[in-house]
């Protein structure tokens, strides 16, 4: 079943959001430059036992775009306002992938009381190096002038494990289509926001909710050793390496990802 995307007004814009099921709330936050569709296998697995909330972030999918820069802090505040608009008062489990993880750190910094647990998939705690930040700003200009195609060409090969590239062409096509739904201005705004994001490594030891750090064994963007170092710093952390997966572990290997997620949710219940 394709989950229904509803329109919700929050933070002064219109959000496209999947809001399915009832029970303890799990909020999924997609990576760059994707949308709610990347969490389809997790929505299917959890919506019978949980309330699953899966927004398109500002500038992506069906959500409105704002031009300029969208910081990780702004994205995190958007999520808090969206939860208010949906009437969610109880603490949620927030599961973010990559840019969704950068946003998750800021959600903890700004809205810690709203968190029951955190799941950090294929993400980083370190900021961009000056060269990486400059590269992002250049890419933002290029996308505004030339459209999404150069970004799609540069990103697709880095997102997936070898097995996915060889055996799952339809999944890669789905992701290509997802990137095609993001607005160039939204892509540029998020790139500028990521370029200026905070170094959250000094705060990791203070995160006192249960955490799961999950990484695809073949992730080239946030490699296993870098994610293990994050897990080592988090006080209540389970570290999970997902086989046959790269940066898009939840899509590339849903059974292993869902097992780690449901184990956490069972521990919380």
Q: Are 234 and 140 in contact (CB under 8 A)?
A: no
Please identify which residue in 24, 31, 37, 96 interacts with ligand MLT, judged by CB under 6 A. 31
C-alpha 202/C-alpha 107 separation (Å) is 16
C-alpha 21/C-alpha 97 separation (Å) is 22
Please identify which residue in 52, 194, 237, 265 interacts with ligand MLT, judged by CB under 6 A. 194
Dig out the tokens for 143 from the structure: 């996308």
Strands 13-20 and 51-55: antiparallel
For residues 113-142, which are near ligand MLT according to CB under 6 A? none
Please identify which residue in 43, 94, 99, 121 interacts with ligand MLT, judged by CB under 6 A. 99
The least CB distance from residue 31 to ligand MLT, in Å, is 3
The contact mask relative to ligand MLT for 225-264 (x = CB under 6 A, - = no) is ----------------------x-----------------
The contact mask relative to ligand MLT for 209-228 (x = CB under 6 A, - = no) is ------------x-------
Lateral strand order in the sheet of 5-10: 5-10, 13-20, 51-55, 25-29, 92-97, 115-121, 211-216, 237-242
DSSP 66: -
The least CB distance from residue 23 to ligand MLT, in Å, is 28
The least CB distance from residue 152 to ligand MLT, in Å, is 13
Q: Which helix (H) or strand (E) holds 7?
A: strand 5-10
Between 30 and 51, whose beta carbon lies closer to ligand MLT?
30
DSSP 242: E
108 in contact with ligand MLT (CB under 6 A):
no
Contact footprint for ligand MLT (CB under 6 A)? 31-32, 98-99, 194, 221, 247
């Amino acid at each position: 079943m394709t989950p229904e995307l509803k329109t919700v007004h929050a933070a002064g814009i219109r959000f496209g959001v999947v809001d399915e099921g009832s029970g303890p709330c799990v909020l999924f936050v997609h990576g760059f430059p994707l949308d709610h569709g990347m969490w389809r296998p997790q929505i299917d697995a959890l919506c019978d036992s949980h309330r699953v909330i899966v927004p398109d972030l500002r500038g992506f999918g069906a959500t409105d775009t704002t031009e300029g820069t969208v910081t990780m802090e702004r994205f995190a505040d958007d999520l808090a306002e969206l939860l208010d608009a949906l009437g969610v008062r109880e603490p949620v489990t927030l599961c973010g992938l990559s840019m969704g993880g950068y946003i998750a750190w800021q959600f903890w910094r700004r809205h810690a009381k709203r968190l029951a647990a955190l799941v950090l998939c294929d993400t980083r705690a370190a900021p961009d190096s000056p060269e990486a930040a400059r590269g992002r700003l250049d890419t933002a200009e290029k996308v505004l002038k030339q459209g999404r195609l150069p970004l799609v060409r540069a990103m697709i090969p880095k997102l997936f494990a070898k097995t996915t590239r060889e055996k799952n062409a339809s999944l890669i096509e789905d992701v290509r289509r997802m990137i095609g739904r993001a607005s160039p201005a939204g892509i540029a705004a998020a790139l500028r926001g990521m370029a200026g994001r905070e170094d959250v490594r000094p705060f990791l030891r203070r995160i006192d909710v249960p955490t799961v750090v999950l990484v695809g064994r073949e992730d080239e963007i946030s490699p296993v050793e870098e994610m293990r170092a994050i897990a080592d710093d988090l006080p209540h952390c389970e570290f999970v390496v997902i086989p046959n997966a790269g940066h898009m572990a939840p899509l590339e290997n849903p059974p292993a990802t869902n097992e780690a997620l449901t184990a956490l949710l069972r521990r919380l219940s």
